[in-house]
Structure 1
Amino acid sequence: MPHPADPYEGDDLDNLPPPQPVHYAEQALFGALLLEPHRLSTISRLTPDHFGNHAHSTLFHAMRTVPTPSPKQHAKDTAWLSAVLAEAQPEAPGLTASYLHTLIQSCPRPQHAAAYASMIRADHARRMLREHADRLCQIATDTTLPDSVVAVLAQADALGRYLDELAPQFTPHPGSLPRTPAPPPPPPPPEAGEEALDEERLLLATATAHPNEVTTMRWLQPDDFTHPLHAGLWQCLVALTRRNTPVDPVTVLWEAQHRGLLSAGPELSELLDLLASPLGSAECWGERILQRSVLGTAHHIGRRIEAFTEDPATTPYQLVVGSRRALADLSPIRTRWQHATSPAPESRPARTRGTAAPRASPPRTTAPPTARISL
């Protein structure tokens, strides 16, 4: 989505978006620098990429390129202003001398240049964080990727590294958690929903037929299922296998009754038919379900971070803390995915005792002691 500070690209000039506070911060900063160029040394952490407006980014690059005059020399003439304008105009033809005059008039206090620069850096952090979150959402919903989980986890790591870079740049303050409400999870598309339900049904039937596979699938949790009944039936299977009791469609149905799953569920005959139609491997279906859960979790995290960045009341430090808290929700399911997809460790043969030949004693160099005979 376009940032409010970006130049408007539409044709309807009556619907121009109103300028945001950062727009006035950029104008005030340029006014301060045009009046007192020596203040460029006080904002060394600011770069052209931090500006949301292309013309402003180009102008700042020109200021960094043209040698800064001394305060006395700058007070005598406007040579530096002309040189900066000439440097910037090839990349930003819209810049004019009159606009530089407007920038100078927009600066309340030149000595506040560092504060204006801090505002610009904070807004840039918000924009970049939104881009990272947008990318996370896009990857999580891209069905053309050969390995979507690997791609989404890599983007989550990139987002985490960016948050690590941001954290030292902004001062902590009380109330560091954002107050922005989390958006509700979006409903899955109809075709994706049906596919997920089919995979869950096949998992339940196959796990009922091969309950020994359930014991190795501790990485699959009820929250990974899209249908509450399927999540409850999976809990029934796990409970039966842990108690080492017989597992078949009837025993699963009996366990489901005790857990209150049959009150608003399907007909019992339909449920028995569902549990009696195995296909393939339970672990294979479980990985499909877990993969869908990983992508859904990543997508929801991306939307939560987007909501933080779109709330103008959220401070930069709150953005960092809230985004880190949201990203931490991916860690448990990432760990479970690694357990599910890691190859099983090779079992080593048990060592047996008593099979090796007895070790020979060292040769004696002295005669053995005489046995004492009791009389």
Structure 2
Amino acid sequence: MTPLVHAEQAVLGAIFLEPGQLGQLSPWLRPEHFSRPAHAAVYAALLRLKADGHPAAATKAGAPVPLSWVNDTLREASARTRGLTASYLHSLVSACPRPSHAPVYGRMVLEGAIHRGVAQHAARLHQAALADGRAGTVEETLHRVQVLSDVLADLARGWGAEARPVQPPAAYAPQAEHPQLVGEQVLADEEYLLGCLTSRPDQLLGLVRWLQPGDFADPGHQQIYRALGALHHRGEPIDQLTVLWETQRRGALADGTLSAERVRRICDPLVGGSAEHFGEQVVQASLVRTAATAARQVGALADRDALAPGQLIGYALHALGPLDDVRRRLRHAHEAEPEPLRPVSRPGAPPPAARIDAARARSRVADTTTRSAPTADPRPALAAHHNHRSPS
């Protein structure tokens, strides 16, 4: 028998011995806080008898308690659950060390309920994230994230703690996890997005506000996006070769994250389309993966009985922190594109236009063709093109 079950028995036994203790417990201890259905039914029956004005509920400490207090509780509780006997209710009396310690026993019950509730909601969030990952959606994950956040805030108020994120010490830090399995559609969306940005680099300006390298599931895709952002930031031209050169400078070819052939394939200049849609798909997939990771971390924290409720709540809110960032950026993806930022001139520095021209002069190529992006999804036509294109 666990210490939590002993605490539940002790608090019920204390109420049978001193019915007046119920007045100290009822404002904050509820039947659903008990882990065993029989104990929850007994406590709910005691609350009902007190509300109905049972004579025993007004018994002073040290005064004899009428036997009807136990018998009437058994009759009321038996209507809520099966298997209760009078002998078990009398055994609860002997399980209470000190009736006057009932509020302390009740806090133990509440502490167990907090751990159990956090674990349950973390498991539901994890299930929602897995389901949304398979379906390519995000709505249920967002709902479960909000529910878990609200539950943590409510538990903090009930326990009397402050609902604020607290970074856990090294002993409670999440362990390194194996990389999550990523669906083929997610990887295809990431590749197509990078192809769109290489073909039309002007679309980068609308994405850099809310799309980050960490949103990409594939490490190679992260490096290509970083290379695109660096080239765009420096005002240099963007094409297959410049992106390949930038990934090489960043060490992505040397460490095996990417190969030259893969970079050239992903940065196909024939890819065209709206990057905003696929960027949003990438951020949504990132949110689902982040939610699954956070749910596992919160569940692991809830399984640590050594954590006090205030610590558990603070550490759990800290684990949900990365999710808040992704949710905020996903909302920004739906907002109107802001005005372009004006470069800030520093004393003694060349004018912005001069700096950009100098950067472009290092690798300027003549652009003799003009391409326009198709409005429809060109992937089926591109697939046919690649199947019939002669090898280079």
Q: Which of 335, 338, 346 is the matching residue for 2:328? A: 335
- CA–CA distance in structure 2, aligned partners of residues 265 and 294 of structure 1: 23
Q: Which position in structure 1 is the counterpart of 2:217?
A: 226
Q: Which position in structure 1 is the counterpart of 2:112?
A: 123
Q: Which of 151, 156, 161 is the matching residue for 1:167? A: 156
Shift of 1:170: 3.2
Q: Which position in structure 2 is the counterpart of 1:365?
A: none
Q: Which position in structure 2 is the counterpart of 1:35?
A: 17
Using the size of structure 1 for normalisation, the TM-score is: 0.80
Report if the CA contact (8 A) 1:180-1:307 is conserved.
no
Secondary structure in 2 aligned to 1:141?
helix
Q: Which of 64, 71, 89 is the matching residue for 1:75? A: 64
- CA–CA distance in structure 1, aligned partners of residues 141 and 132 of structure 2: 12
Secondary structure in 1 aligned to 2:251?
coil
Shift of 1:270: 4.1
Kindly provide the amino acid, as one letter, of the partner of residue 205 in structure 1: G
CA 1:228–1:52: 2 relative to 1, 3 Å: same
Shift of 1:296: 0.8
Q: Which position in structure 2 is the counterpart of 1:65?
A: 48
What stretches of structure 1 move > 6 A for 4+ residues in a row?
144-147
- CA–CA distance in structure 1, aligned partners of residues 279 and 153 of structure 2: 34
- CA–CA distance in structure 2, aligned partners of residues 269 and 305 of structure 1: 41
Shift of 1:306: 0.4
* Residues 14-33 of structure 1: pairs in structure 2 closer than 5 A: 19-33=1-15
Shift of 1:217: 0.7
Q: Which position in structure 2 is the counterpart of 1:208?
A: 198
- CA–CA distance in structure 2, aligned partners of residues 89 and 76 of structure 1: 21
Report if the CA contact (8 A) 1:137-1:298 is conserved.
yes
Deviations 1:192-232 (A, max 9, x none): 34333222222222211111111211111111112222111
CA 1:338–1:273: 2 relative to 1, 3 Å: same
Shift of 1:108: 0.5
Shift of 1:68: 4.6
Q: 1:182 aligned to 2:174?
A: yes
Return 249-258 or 20-29, whichever deviates more.
249-258
CA 1:232–1:138: 2 relative to 1, 3 Å: same
* Residues 137-148 of structure 1: pairs in structure 2 closer than 5 A: 137-143=126-132, 148=137
Q: 1:275 aligned to 2:260?
A: no
- CA–CA distance in structure 1, aligned partners of residues 334 and 34 of structure 2: 43
CA 1:144–1:332: 2 relative to 1, 3 Å: closer
Q: Which position in structure 2 is the counterpart of 1:351?
A: none
Secondary structure in 2 aligned to 1:200?
helix
Identity of aligned residues (%): 34
Q: 1:313 aligned to 2:306?
A: yes
Report if the CA contact (8 A) 2:196-2:273 is conserved.
yes
CA 1:143–1:236: 2 relative to 1, 3 Å: same
Shift of 1:31: 1.1
Q: 1:151 aligned to 2:140?
A: yes
Kindly provide the amino acid, as one letter, of the partner of residue 287 in structure 1: E
What is the number of equivalent residue pairs in this alignment? 326
- CA–CA distance in structure 2, aligned partners of residues 62 and 252 of structure 1: 71
Kindly provide the amino acid, as one letter, of the partner of residue 34 in structure 1: F
Shift of 1:325: 1.1
Shift of 1:157: 2.0
- Report which of the two structures shows the higher radius of gyration computed on alpha carbons: 1
Secondary structure in 2 aligned to 1:62?
helix
Q: 1:104 aligned to 2:93?
A: yes
CA 1:310–1:102: 2 relative to 1, 3 Å: same
- CA–CA distance in structure 1, aligned partners of residues 11 and 213 of structure 2: 54
Deviations 1:42-78 (A, max 9, x none): 1121111111111111111111122251437961641
Return 214-223 or 138-147, whichever deviates more.
138-147
Shift of 1:125: 1.4
Q: CA RMSD in A?
A: 2.6
- CA–CA distance in structure 1, aligned partners of residues 30 and 238 of structure 2: 65
Using the size of structure 2 for normalisation, the TM-score is: 0.76
- CA–CA distance in structure 2, aligned partners of residues 27 and 68 of structure 1: 23
Report if the CA contact (8 A) 2:121-2:148 is conserved.
yes
Kindly provide the amino acid, as one letter, of the partner of residue 286 in structure 2: S
- CA–CA distance in structure 1, aligned partners of residues 172 and 339 of structure 2: 48
- CA–CA distance in structure 2, aligned partners of residues 81 and 265 of structure 1: 70
Shift of 1:327: 1.6
Shift of 1:172: 5.7
Q: Which of 224, 232, 235 is the matching residue for 1:241? A: 232
Report if the CA contact (8 A) 2:10-2:105 is conserved.
yes
Report if the CA contact (8 A) 2:194-2:267 is conserved.
yes
Deviations 1:261-311 (A, max 9, x none): 222255434432331151532222221111110111111111111011111
- CA–CA distance in structure 2, aligned partners of residues 43 and 290 of structure 1: 47
Report if the CA contact (8 A) 1:37-1:68 is conserved.
no
Q: 1:52 aligned to 2:39?
A: no
Report if the CA contact (8 A) 2:132-2:140 is conserved.
no
Unaligned ranges ≥5, structure 2: 341-392
